[in-house]
Structure 1
Amino acid sequence: MPVDVPSPPAPPAGPRTSPREQGGVAVLDRPEADTPWVCLVWNDPVNLMSYVTWVFQTHFHYPRARAEKLMMDVHSLGRAVVSTGTREKVEADTEAMHGYGLWATFQHADQG
């Protein structure tokens, strides 16, 4: 007499466990990859305002008016969001700001 063995429960449906077909390849949905990230530059007691403006113009290719506005936000508010995008892009921008000697961090856009 055959024994009826129950099948294992199906994995929970959700973005991290349900692959989808894309060009013949199973791809896991990763909603966190779609979440924008931000690079924040923080005020510091070292860098001149003109230098910070120059960095924003040089690295991000911002027009002078936008670079000055961001610099004033850093100076008066203590920080400014200077770039947004994927984690990889924002992480690279953060490292670039460190290379210029600025204090910078990155985080999810929806955090604080």
Structure 2
Amino acid sequence: MVALPAVPLLDEETDVRPLHASEVPWQTIVWNDPVNLMSYVAWVFRRHFGMGETEAERAMMAVHTEGRAVVAQGNREAMERHVEAMHEYGLWATLEKAPR
């Protein structure tokens, strides 16, 4: 049996361990479209993400004025489920790695 060298769990200089693929944060982005009413988009955010009225309105206005809004952040699988749900509601959504 061959002994493998020990791999440190923490980088000794920075006390930071490398992220596992499942820990890399991703985000769900909802994009503006010419089809859905602003009130409907806010309703979807309240219903699906459990946002309060003010938070849903703020996110909807970001979609409307900036063309996109980050509506959720987490692991990739969860964000893929949110993107699929947004598509089922008729919204245009994608996922991307969250900036560090």
User: Among 60, 84, 94, which residue is 2:49 paired with?
Assistant: 60
Shift, 1:14, TM fit: 9.4
Aligned partners of 2:95 and 2:70: how far apart in 1? 9
Q: Secondary structure at the match of 1:44?
A: coil
Q: One-letter code of the match for 2:91?
A: L
Please, which runs of 5 or more residues in structure 1 have no aligned partner? 1-9, 16-28
Residue in 1 that maps onto 2:65: 76
* RMSD of aligned Cα (Å): 2.2
**Cα gap change, 1:30/1:102 in structure 2, threshold over 3 Å: closer, same or farther?**
same
Question: Identity percentage over the alignment?
Answer: 52
**Greater radius of gyration (CA):** 1
Q: How many residues align?
A: 89
**Structure number with higher relative contact order (C-alpha < 8 Å, ≥ 6 residues apart):** 2
More strand by share: 1
User: Among 52, 71, 87, which residue is 1:98 paired with?
Assistant: 87
